Amino acid sequence: MHRIGYFLTEGFQIMALGTQSVFEFANVVAKEQVYQVTNYSLTGGVVTSSIGASVNTLKATCESQADTWMVPGIVDPLARDSTVEELNFVKTAVAGAQRVGGMCSGAFVLAEAGLLEGRRVTTHWAYAGALKQRFPNTHVEPDHIFINDGSIWTSAGLSAAMDLVLGMVEKDLGHKVANRVARVLVMYHRRSGGQSQHSQMLKIAPKSDRVQTALDHARANLADDLSAEVLAKVVHLSERQFRRVFLFETGLSPAKAVEQLRLETARNMIQRGRHSLEIIARETGFRDRRHLREVFIRKLGVSPQSFRREAREGDAGE
Mean pLDDT of the chain: 88
Instruction: Examine the pLDDT at 189 and tell me if it is beyond 50.
Output: no
- 45, β-bridge pairs: 57
Q: Catalytic residue numbers?
A: 104
pLDDT of residue 312: 65
* Burial 290-304, CB ≥16 within 10 A → b, else e: eebbebbeebbbbbb
* Range 95-100 average pLDDT: 94
Query: What share of the chain in percent tops pLDDT 90?
Result: 61
Q: Hey, where are the domains in the chain?
A: 2-184, 200-317
pLDDT of residue 286: 94
Instruction: Examine the pLDDT at 122 and tell me if it is beyond 60.
Output: yes
Class of domain 2-184: alpha beta
Pick the CATH number of 200-317 from 3.40.50.880, 3.40.50.10860, 3.40.50.720, 1.10.10.60: 1.10.10.60
Helix (H, G, I), strand (E, B) or coil at 179: helix
End-to-end CA distance of the chain: 31
Do the Cβ atoms of 137 and 117 come closer than 8 Å?
yes
Using alpha carbons, list the distances in angstroms from residue 48 to 44, 82, 83, 250, 271: 12, 16, 17, 42, 40
User: CA–CA separation, 251 vs 312, rounded Å?
Assistant: 35
pTM over 0.85: no
Do the Cβ atoms of 219 and 260 come closer than 8 Å?
no
With cut-offs at 50, 70 and 90, classify the pLDDT of residue 188.
low
pLDDT of residue 114: 95
User: CA–CA separation, 250 vs 84, rounded Å?
Assistant: 40
Question: Are 2-184 and 200-317 equal in CATH topology?
Answer: no
Instruction: Examine the pLDDT at 228 and tell me if it is beyond 80.
Output: yes
Sign, Cα dihedral of 164, 165, 167, 171: positive
User: CA–CA separation, 47 vs 42, rounded Å?
Assistant: 10
Torsion-angle region of 209 (φ positive above 0: left; ψ -120 to 50: alpha; else: beta): alpha
pLDDT of residue 5: 97
Q: What is the CA radius of gyration of the chain?
A: 22
At how many degrees (to 10) do helices 254-272 and 304-317 cross? 40
Nearest to 281 by CA among 271, 289, 290: 289
Do the Cβ atoms of 3 and 67 come closer than 8 Å?
yes
Q: pLDDT tens for residues 57-77?
A: 999 987 888 999 999 989 999
With cut-offs at 50, 70 and 90, classify the pLDDT of residue 25.
very high
pLDDT of residue 198: 45
